[in-house]
Amino acid sequence: MTGNCSKSLFAKLSRIGVCAPLLACAISYPAHAQDAREATPIAQLMQRHVMLRSSVPPDPNRVRRQVRQRTAQTDLTPVNTGPGIVYTCDPSVAASTCNYLNTTVAGFYNSTFTNANGSVYIQYGTTSLGESLTIYNFVTYSKYVTALTAVPNKAAFQTDAIAALNTYDAGPYSGGNVKVTSALGRALGFSGMKGVNAQETATCTAGTSGCYDVVITVSNTAPLYYDDQGGTESADAYDYYAVVMHETDEMLGTSSCIDTNNNELTDGCANLGGSGVPSDVDLFRYTAPGTLALSSAPSQVIGPNGQYFSYNGGANYGAGGDANVGKIYNTLANGDDFADYSTTDVDLGCSYNEAIQDAEGCPGEDQGLTVLNDGESELTILATVGYELPGSSSTAPAVMSTPTPGSTLTSNTVKFTWTAGTGVSAYDLHLSAVAPGGYDLYLSGHVTSLSATVSGLPVNGEKIYARLYSIINGATQYNDYIYFAETVTISKLISPAPSTTLTGASIKFTWSAVSGVSAYDLHLSAVSPGGYDLYVSGHVTTTSATVKDIPLNGKKIYARLYSIKSGVTYYNDYTYTAASLAELLYPAPGSTLKSTSVFFEWTAGGGVSAYDLHLSAVAAGDFDLYSSGHTTSTIKTVNGLPANGEPIYARLYSIIGGVTYYNDYTYHAK
């Protein structure tokens, strides 16, 4: 046995904390002979994967922070006919914890896959949050694809995955090897898989007594929360079972062959089998639709979304967190495992889109987080690389066909098309400029057609989220996609300044002149964007319009400015607040005054530059009793009022945009 082991002491500064020292080891083993079927692995590699912890709890005031209460399922029906996932616990692990691992946690996997069998030794020890030591076995690429193709009961996305392998991976990988874990190798029917003993000192035959597919170590210093013990996870604690599932996933096959040893990205499989050897998940790593991310260039990041897992050639993300936003892989030499999800993919870290496979644990945030309630991204990956889903071939959600996911749209009117899927009764397309699943841009409602034409999309280059729902047997499934809006220069309103309060009932609107625009059209509405119940200019070539009779009620006014460019209509939307007159508050209008000396108070109104209060015993608007003159104050005390019980007329003037408006009131003298 030959080997190398290096300790790497470093500090990783992230947005949510400083990570602890790590131990990274890689030990190489000599090749083993293959049997006549060439199904035996040709070599093994021992590799350690570490899950880091954030040392700082998430900011409770962070925007969009979600407090999640997750409940672990306990009534799971097993579909696995083999031993399933079996946890053997070190004596330091409480019996109740070990029992929960072998019932509830193992049940997550045993109720999902028919052939996910793995022997796990679990202990406490010195690590950042959690780590796993696994023996990786090398098989030829051709034998891996053959074994994957032979998996029975393939779901539609598993069939798509095999097609993607034959399309994108055959060139760079067909003559080489693939790294698989001992658990995955056995699931695919390979013999001679090697595991590791509990002491982590020797290899052994996987599946035999005392030989483990993985040794998992959970931190003996990090504050831990245990779901089965109840209570609330404290702000500095990490969910123990979420950590164990993270490492269990890697035993089953979610980890990359790329290491960050000594804080430098290296090909961890180069010790055996040749440089640039991929793991099973590396075969499905993309940077854009149709662009495979080769493991020989591990730091490569192309496009705005980095590298991500996809089972259909990169057409859509195959992995998402509990908010079902596409997750990207860590591709930086920052100490995080290369195939763990980046915790900065949506710039909100622990506060959003959590998944079991995130590179760093989230303190106070992951109570009850499991592979069944975090978007099930890891289960999708594991099914793709070789685990069987029982009876899964009968249904499959629709997949977006055009435009190409991840592309930049070429117009503000776009026809979206999608596949029929299998067993789908209806579809629903949502488009949003805000968040996945939103429909601020478009909502198709339930339709049976395979396309939808959407108009009025933004033309500012911003990200557009698309969610395509499929209704299958009364349940809803969906795929998420990201596009980028077309960038077109169109006219913008200059004055009044958007989002301001208007200064009167008659307003001159002006907008920018744009080269190539043949006509403009201004709509104003008190009802909805694009409406014209208040005003419509029609097609004009001027860059201004004066609008009269705008209400003075302080309510929202919607403005839409259209630009006609090369025969295509684009627009920008704006909102304003209508001006509003000041109104008397005190004394209550219609009341009897309590004195001959009275304190009057009124509202500020909207867009009012000055006020004038008139009081009269003769007629509304007269000022035989009092006139404040123009004032900017909203309070006045008036003395010497009559005490005869007769009516007193009050008129409160508001000067808005140089025009005088008023409200009339009546009181009764004392």
pLDDT in tens, 538-595: 999 999 999 999 999 999 999 999 999 888 888 889 999 999 999 999 999 999 999 9
Question: Of 430, 463, 484, which residue is a domain's last?
Answer: 484
Rounded Cα–Cα distance for residues 556 and 563 (Å): 23
What residue type is 21 in one-letter code?
P
Distance CA 205, CA 213 (A): 9
Does residue 529 sit within a domain? yes
Q: Is residue 372 within 8 Å of residue 453, measured between CB atoms?
A: no
In sequence order, which residues have a C-beta less than 8 Å from that of residue 670 and are 6 or more positions away?
Answer: 592, 593, 594, 595, 596, 641, 642, 643, 645
> What is the arithmetic mean of pLDDT over 386-411?
82
165 with 265, same domain? yes
Residue 603 lies in a domain: yes
Mean pLDDT of 656-664: 92
The residues, any chain, with a CB within 8 Å of residue 597's CB and separated by 6 or more, are 637, 638, 639, 640, 641
The Cα 539–Cα 520 span in angstroms is 5
Same domain, 179 and 323: yes
DSSP 254-314: ---SEE-GGGS-EETTTTSS-TT--BTGGGGEEEETTEE--TTSTT---STT--EE-SSTT
Mean pLDDT computed over 395-402 = 84
Say if residue 73's pLDDT is above 70: no
From 351, 372, 392, the end of a domain falls on 392
For residue 100, give the nearest of 91, 111, 108 by alpha carbon.
108
Q: Are residues 387 and 436 in the same domain?
A: no
pLDDT tens profile 276-321: 889 999 999 998 889 898 866 666 665 556 888 999 898 888 887 7
Contacts of 277 (CB under 8 A, 6+ apart): 138, 176, 177, 178, 179, 257, 267, 269, 270, 295
* Model confidence at 266: pLDDT above 80: no
Do residues 506 and 598 both lie within one domain?
A: no
Q: Name which of 116, 178, 184 is nearest 143 in CA terms.
A: 178
Cβ(117)–Cβ(85) below 8 Å: yes
Does residue 154 sit within a domain? yes
Asked if 56 and 364 count as a contact pair (C-beta separation under 8 A), the reply is no
- Going by the DSSP 8-state scheme, the letter that residue 191 receives in this structure is S
Number of domains in the chain: 4
Could you tell me how far CA 533 lies from the centroid of its own chain? Answer: 38
Pick the residue with more confidence: 73 or 154?
A: 154
DSSP-assigned letter for residue 112: T
Are residue 258 and residue 337 in the same domain, yes or no?
Answer: yes
Residue 539 CB coordination number (10 Å): 10
pLDDT at 593: 95
Same domain for 191 and 95: yes
pLDDT > 70: percent of the chain: 83
CA angle 404-405-409, nearest 5°? 70
- Looking at 392, 409, 426, the residue that finishes a domain is 392
Beta-sheet pairing, 224-225 with 238-239: parallel
Which residues are CB-neighbours of 534 under 8 A, at least 6 positions away?
A: 524, 525, 526, 547, 549, 550, 551, 557
Tell which residue, 502, 656, 649, has the closest CA to residue 582.
Answer: 656
Helix, strand, coil percentages for the chain (3-state, nearest 5): 15, 35, 50
Question: Domain range spanning residue 146?
Answer: 2-56+75-392
Q: Is residue 69 part of a domain?
A: no
DSSP secondary-structure letter at 518?
E
DSSP 3: E
The answer to the question of residue 480 being in a domain is yes
Which domain CATH number covers 645? 2.60.40.10
Answer whether residue 186 is part of any domain. yes
Q: Round the average pLDDT of the chain to a whole number and report it.
A: 83
Regarding whether 47 and 147 lie in a shared domain, the answer is yes
> Is 188 contained in some domain?
yes
The model's confidence at residue 3, banded by pLDDT at 50, 70 and 90, is: very low
445 shares a domain with 594: no
Please state the rounded mean pLDDT for residues 185-213.
92
Who has greater pLDDT, 426 or 477? 426
Residue 375, Ramachandran bin (φ over 0: left; ψ between -120 and 50: alpha; else beta): left
For residues 336 and 376, state if they share a domain: yes
Residues 277, 205 share a domain: yes
Radius of gyration in angstroms for the set of CA atoms belonging to the chain, rounded to a whole number: 34
State residue 6's pLDDT score.
23
Report pLDDT digits (tens) over 410-448: 888 999 999 998 888 899 999 999 888 889 999 999 999
Which is it for the CA torsion 634, 637, 643, 649, positive or negative? Answer: negative
Can you read off the two tokens belonging to residue 250? 């890697």
User: Residue range 248-265: average pLDDT?
Assistant: 83
Whether the per-residue pLDDT at 376 is higher than 90: the answer is no
Query: Using CA atoms, how far apart are residues 545 and 409, in angstroms rounded to an integer?
Result: 32
* 289 exposure class (CB count in 10 Å sphere: 0-12, 13-18, 19+): middle
Whether 336 and 425 map to the same domain: the answer is: no
Asked whether 48 and 20 are in contact (CB, 8 A), the reply is no
pTM of the model: 0.58
Q: What is the largest CA-CA distance in the chain?
A: 118
CB count in 10 Å sphere of residue 577 = 16
Residue 246 vs residue 288, higher pLDDT: 246
* Cα 152 from chain centre: 33
Residue 172: HSE in the Cβ half-sphere, 13 Å Cα cutoff: 18
- Which residues touch 407 (CB under 8 Å, ≥6 apart)? 289, 483, 484
- Structural tokens at position 186: 């056995």
405 and 505 together in one domain = no
The answer to whether residue 214 sits within a structural domain is yes
- What's the rounded Cα separation, in Å, for the pair 112 and 120? 18
d(CA 447, CA 444): 7
